[in-house]
């Protein structure tokens, strides 16, 4: 897997899985566009990428992934900077838990905006340059919660399940232009998002995993790199579960 002279755009690149993906792609030689709202954290990701590959070309874009115009601007600037766009990773996401009867309308809207609508905006923006160059790979970060559901996470589960439907539909729409679309569904991964989980819930998931442990962001980033690589050149419309064996 060599990504030299390739360009990748990653949303939610400030920390956790997004940062691990960025570092992985930098180590493989890719030019990077890092998107997020925390500029300081994006700077830390950029530094990690440059450490992974001396001379890595890394651009930071502060932007709201739920703003369609902002995403189109960032994609256009990325193409102008690197001359092409080969990979797009829709990693931005948020979980606000709550029982259905207690969920407020604004909470539902916010989670769907961040987790699902933002992916629509990103895919719509990157499809244009990818169609023009007749190549590209899009990876949507979903979750095993979108496959199995979870009490107290109805909105999160529904938004992540929606990404899998988007993945299949776009794979059929864009396949004739040699653009592949896949999704990755992580299980319990040690990130800032999962730090606030109750100990009992964490222990339950670890016990359910055949490997008997939580995953690390690097367990996911390598899979994303594989899906973008030529080694996965005949894979599209698929959701690859990375959960240590919870959903077997």
Among all residues, which ones are annotated catalytic? Answer: 156
DSSP classification of residue 189: B
In the chain the first and final C-alpha atoms are separated, in Å, by 28
CA-nearest of 187, 183, 239, 184 to 216 is 187
CB atoms within 10 A of CB 105: 7
CB atoms within 10 A of CB 197: 16
CA distance 135 to 30: 16
The strand pairing partners of 136, in sequence order, are: 179
CA angle, 160 as apex, 156 and 165 as ends, to 5°? 145
Contact 49, 32 (CB under 8 A): yes
Token pair listed for 230: 């030529």
CA-nearest of 91, 65, 45 to 186 is 91
């Amino acid at each position: 897997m060599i990504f030299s002279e390739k360009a990748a755009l990653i949303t939610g690149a400030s920390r956790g899985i997004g940062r691990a993906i960025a570092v992985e792609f930098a180590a493989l030689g890719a030019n990077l566009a890092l998107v997020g709202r925390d500029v300081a954290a994006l700077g830390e990701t950029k530094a990690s990428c440059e450490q992974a590959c001396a001379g890595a070309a890394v651009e930071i874009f502060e932007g709201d992934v739920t703003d369609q115009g902002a995403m189109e601007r960032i994609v256009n600037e990325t193409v102008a900077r690197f001359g092409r766009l080969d990979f797009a990773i829709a990693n931005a996401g948020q979980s606000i838990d709550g029982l259905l009867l207690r969920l407020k309308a604004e909470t539902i809207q916010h989670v769907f905006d961040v987790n699902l609508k933002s992916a629509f905006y990103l895919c719509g923006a990157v499809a244009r340059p990818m169609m023009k160059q007749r190549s590209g790979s899009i990876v949507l970060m979903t979750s095993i919660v979108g496959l199995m559901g979870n009490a107290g996470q109805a909105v999160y589960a529904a938004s992540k399940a929606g990404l899998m439907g988007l993945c299949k539909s776009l794979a059929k729409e864009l396949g004739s232009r040699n653009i592949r679309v896949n999704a990755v569904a992580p299980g319990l991964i040690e990130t800032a998002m999962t730090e606030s989980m109750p100990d009992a819930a964490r222990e339950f998931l670890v016990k359910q995993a055949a490997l008997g442990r939580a995953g690390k962001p690097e367990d996911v980033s390598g899979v994303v790199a594989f899906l973008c690589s030529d080694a996965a050149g005949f894979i599209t419309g698929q959701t690859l579960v990375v959960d240590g064996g919870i959903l077997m």
